[in-house]
Structure 1
Amino acid sequence: MKIFLETERLILRQFTEVDTELLFQLDRDPEVTRFTKLGARSGTPTSYNEIKNEFLPKVFRYYQQYPNYYGFWAAMEKLSNTFIGWFHFRPGLDGYMGAILYEVNDIELGYRLPRKVWGKGYATEGSKALVKKGFLELGIERIVASALSENKASIRVMEKVGLKFERNFVYSESQQVGVKYTLNKEDFMEEERRKK
């Protein structure tokens, strides 16, 4: 089980097949999936078979295609060694809106955490660490993220980690309004210099 990065309170590690049940339990809460599936499927739990036969194989392909760079990682709380969701950091074109929303070199940031850890700063902590690693170690030029405009908690996280509002857009299938946020390496480096 390979560790991708560590923060003060989190370990982000590669998924294994043993994690299928953890992912299934995470997606069983309709509040967790409320903003992740659009239209009629909003709030609908992901089936165990979908996780095992579609989601995890896609995750494992990332590890093969982009070793040490991009993918989905299980988030473990260091203190309790408990699974508290996942983070992703992947080519934006691989995302749901892909070529409609992102450019070729955009790297998309995202996460999914259970309600029991909401409000504890884990989403911000993990996202900040990924942004920093992306710009300082992986040579990324631009990080992007998107959310439904009504998902105020995720929008706050994007803003806390330095991403800036770029534009509104409409999800074609559901006609729901989304927001796109971005952060360029140049702006990140300027902000880092100001902190010193």
Structure 2
Amino acid sequence: MPVFETQRLILLPRTLADTNDCLAMDSDPEVTRFVVGPWGDRLKHRAFVESRTLGDYPAGMGYWTVRSRADPTDFLGWVLLIPTDTSGPEIEIGWRLPRKAWGSGIATEAARTVLQHAFATLDVPEVVAEIDARNFGSMRVAEKLGLIRREEVVHEGKLRIRYTVRRPN
């Protein structure tokens, strides 16, 4: 997987060395309140993060750890580009940031870079995102990225808004 740099950020392929940062971020109930996961069970949570990190994704896809260019030790979350539910056939984009990074444009800046990679390098025809209907911050990020609200769906018992964007011609 490639490394990306933006004006403020470095996006690195996520490794097991990032696990503790991910676990610390996810331990904030505000960060995970719209996401179904094993957040309350430390062992299952660690196993989940590690399995996602080591997932067998198509070439050029996976999770990127987002760090500050000014301080590369500063963990600012992650962005993913993977087959939906890890098996596809659609390709999804997603992001999670610690609260300290909210409202700063970091999610948009990082995800825009990964989205451009999906279209320009991987030639993905369409990217989707399913966002909890109460997660207005993530919906704003999706819209800033050019994703279009398509429909409401129920996934894992939660109402979600399905967004899509097609590769530019």
Which residue number in structure 2 is paired with residue 60 of structure 1? 54
CA separation in 2, counterparts of 1:46 and 1:76?
26
Report deviation, 1:169: 1.0
Is residue 107 of structure 1 aligned with residue 101 of structure 2? no
User: Given the alignment, which residue of 62, 77, 83 partners 2:68?
Assistant: 77
Report deviation, 1:20: 2.0
Report deviation, 1:3: 4.9
Relative to its length, the structure with more helix (as a share) is 1
Which consecutive unaligned segments of at least 5 residues does structure 2 have?
Answer: none
Which residue number in structure 1 is paired with residue 22 of structure 2? 23
1:141-180 matches, cutoff 5 A: 141-171=125-155, 173-174=156-157, 176-180=158-162
Partner amino acid for 1:33? T
Q: Secondary structure at the match of 2:122?
A: coil
**In structure 2, do the counterparts of structure 1 residues 138 and 117 end up closer, same or farther at CA, with 3 Å as the change threshold?**
same
CA separation in 2, counterparts of 1:143 and 1:46?
30
Report deviation, 1:146: 0.9
The percent of aligned pairs where both chains have the same amino acid is: 32
Asked if the contact 1:91–1:107 (Cα under 8 Å) also holds between the matched residues in 2, the reply is: yes
CA separation in 1, counterparts of 2:41 and 2:69?
28
CA separation in 1, counterparts of 2:41 and 2:62?
21
Which residue number in structure 1 is paired with residue 107 of structure 2? 123
Asked if the contact 1:27–1:46 (Cα under 8 Å) also holds between the matched residues in 2, the reply is: no
- CA deviation vs aligned residue, 1:69-119 (integer Å, no higher than 9, x gap): 110111111112111111100012527xx6xxxxx2x21000110010100
Which consecutive unaligned segments of at least 5 residues does structure 1 have?
Answer: 99-103, 190-196
Which residue number in structure 2 is paired with residue 101 of structure 1? none
Which residue number in structure 2 is paired with residue 86 of structure 1? 78
Which residue number in structure 1 is paired with residue 35 of structure 2? 36
TM-score scaled to structure 1, two decimals? 0.78
**In structure 2, do the counterparts of structure 1 residues 150 and 52 end up closer, same or farther at CA, with 3 Å as the change threshold?**
closer
TM-score scaled to structure 2, two decimals? 0.89
Asked if the contact 2:39–2:45 (Cα under 8 Å) also holds between the matched residues in 1, the reply is: no
Which residue number in structure 2 is paired with residue 192 of structure 1? none
CA RMSD of aligned residues (A): 2.0
Q: Secondary structure at the match of 1:134?
A: helix
Asked if the contact 1:3–1:11 (Cα under 8 Å) also holds between the matched residues in 2, the reply is: no
Give the number of aligned pairs.
Answer: 168
Larger Rg: 1
